[in-house]
């Protein structure tokens, strides 16, 4: 009788294998790309208004760099990266709560309308026009 095949062994070793620094840097860039547009301004605001949050973010960023150089597993890096992005989003939320006017659009001239398009997860677009807003 042949021994029973071992299940899950291959999958678990694959996720625990070290990832290349280049792969991890690419994952970092992809995960933080949505933050980069306004984050320099938010980062500067954090220094003056939320220094503890600023320090935590920069320590987490430094930790990600160190992890990428230590050839850690991709799953360990992904967990640290997800935590970092969540902290960045929380800091971004604090900034926008302190600057609510940045989310306001100027009033439209009479008779003009706007439309906002949302891209859904399936790739389709959903239009919300002035009458729906």
- Nearest Cα residue to 42 out of 109, 82, 123, 102: 102
* Residue 105: per-residue pLDDT: 57
* Residue 65: per-residue pLDDT: 93
* Residue 79: per-residue pLDDT: 96
* Residue 108: per-residue pLDDT: 67
pLDDT in tens, 51-107: 999 999 999 999 999 999 998 899 999 999 999 999 999 999 999 889 877 655 566
User: How is 51-92 classified by DSSP, letter by letter?
Assistant: HHHHHHHHHHHHHHHHHHHTT-BHHHHHHHHHHHHHHHHHHH
**pLDDT at 132 > cutoff 60:** no
pLDDT in tens, 20-29: 889 999 999 9
* Residue 3: per-residue pLDDT: 42
């Amino acid at each position: 009788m042949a021994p029973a095949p071992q299940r899950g062994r291959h999958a678990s070793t694959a996720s625990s294998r070290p990832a290349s620094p280049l792969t991890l840097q690419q994952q970092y860039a992809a995960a933080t790309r949505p933050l980069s547009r306004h984050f320099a301004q938010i980062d500067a605001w954090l220094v003056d208004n939320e220094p503890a949050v600023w320090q935590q973010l920069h320590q987490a960023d430094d930790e990600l760099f160190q992890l990428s150089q230590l050839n850690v597993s991709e799953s360990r890096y992904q967990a640290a990266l997800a935590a970092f992005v969540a902290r960045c989003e929380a800091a971004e939320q604090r900034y926008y709560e302190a600057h609510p006017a940045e989310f306001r659009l100027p009033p439209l001239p009479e008779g003009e309308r706007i439309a906002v398009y949302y891209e859904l997860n399936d790739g389709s677009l959903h239009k919300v026009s002035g009458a729906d807003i």
